[in-house]
Structure 1
Amino acid sequence: METLETLFRSFETGIRSAKALKPKQYLKSIGLEYSDLRIGFNSGQFHHRKTLESKEAFEMLGVITKSDAGVRDESFTAYTVFGRYGLIFPLLDSNSRIVNFFALRFDLDKKKQEYLNSEGIYPAYPHPLTKKLYLAPTVIDCASLMQSRVLDQREAVMALHDGELLEQHLEAIKSLNELEVIIIFKR
């Protein structure tokens, strides 16, 4: 069965590929290192050479949708792929399972950021003993703060969903028994 977990592992392999030069260059340009953070690369080909059952599972996950684009062989089905040729960041639920992806499509005329759905938190739900919580407006801002290594023990960071505080963020905050301060970054 195809899951977001197994798919993300393939994206992590993709970013490590020798062919993934542009994604690595882009990450370097924004000061992020894929070996320090959970970042993957979606070349848009993960569904190629897969069984019909796998493709149906990917459709159920929402990572591919049937397209009416032309194909050279009528026996093939064209698909639109979520986050094609983009950097992929996993969002987790309270049980640390991947339930969503954030994609940064950096190689377009105008960069495009998109979420697969509205579930989960990046990078994860904070530890219950967190004393200081930072709320970053975007996944990229959150990853930058984590990459900087300025967080001390009992400090955590969460990315808002396109700058929006969602129900899962409130749930996470309410679960922090020793929380003393919340610091909100604005853009």
Structure 2
Amino acid sequence: MENLEMLFQSFETGIRSAKATKPKEYLKNIGLDYAELRIGFNSGQFHHNRDQEFKDRFEALGMLKKSDAGVRDDTMTPYTAFGRYGLIFPLVDKENRIVNYFALRFKLETPKEEYLNSEGIYPTYPNTLTKRLYIAPTVIDCASLMQSKTLENREAVIALHNGELLPQHLEAIKALHELEEIIIIKR
């Protein structure tokens, strides 16, 4: 998933862009700070002016889907990007490699949350010495708890995936040999 790592770096650069005023404003409104958390912004244009091999790699990952939108040049294939004009949060595997994205498309009439796939954990697999684990219902709830700085030493938080506890969550929990308490946060 090396391509997701590289792409997320471009999303992190995107959120820091002077042009990214709307994503920064939205983050401020929901109380999250991209300087403290790993958050990126996908303008939906990462594939523009790239060769077909690049586009094929990201189509295989689900980041691009062929579209029937009209284009000026009939020789071009139009694409729709996953999480277009959205805030992007990375999900990681046990080796801390980005294997999935959570997108919050905030500019729609009703904000839409979506995952690229069903892999990974947000924000990361908990340290094996974790004593207290918080399980948050969403990535946004998880990010809010992390940013609140209320977690103490040997405490961790993970987000459910669309409200579900997936096999990778159970695997991560079973690896916590000093776990004393699990706190499930409900909305």
TM-score, normalised by the number of residues in structure 1: 0.98
For 1:38, the equivalent position in structure 2 comes to: 38
Residue 62 (structure 1) aligned with residue 62 (structure 2): yes
1:162, CA displacement in angstroms?
A: 1.4
Superposition misfits of 4+ residues, deviation over 3 angstroms = none
**2:49 maps to 1:49:** yes
CA RMSD of aligned residues (A): 1.0
Question: How far apart, CA to CA, are the structure 1 residues paired with 2:15 and 2:155?
Answer: 29
Aligned residue type for 1:53 = E
Unaligned runs of 5+ in 2: none
SS of the equivalent of 1:88 reads: strand
Q: CA deviation at 1:2?
A: 6.4
| Post-superposition offset of 1:161 | 0.5
The answer on whether the counterparts of 1:2 and 1:58 sit within 8 Å (CA) in structure 2 is no
Give how far 1:67 is off: 1.0
Residue 15 of structure 1 aligns with which residue? 15
CA distance in 2, matches of 1:80, 1:46: 11
TM-score, structure 2 length as denominator?
0.98
The question of 1:82 aligning with 2:53 is answered: no
Secondary structure of 1:3's partner? Answer: helix
Q: Give the match's secondary structure for 1:12.
A: helix
Cα deviation for residue 96 of structure 1 reads 0.3
* CA–CA distance in structure 1, aligned partners of residues 59 and 163 of structure 2: 28
1:115 maps to: 115
The alpha carbon displacement at 1:106 in A equals: 0.3
User: What is the identity, as a one-letter code, of the residue corresponding to 2:60?
Assistant: M
Amino acid at match of 1:94: K
1:70 Cα deviation after fit:
1.4
Aligned to 1:72: 72
1:167 — aligned with what? 167
1:129 matched to 2:124: no
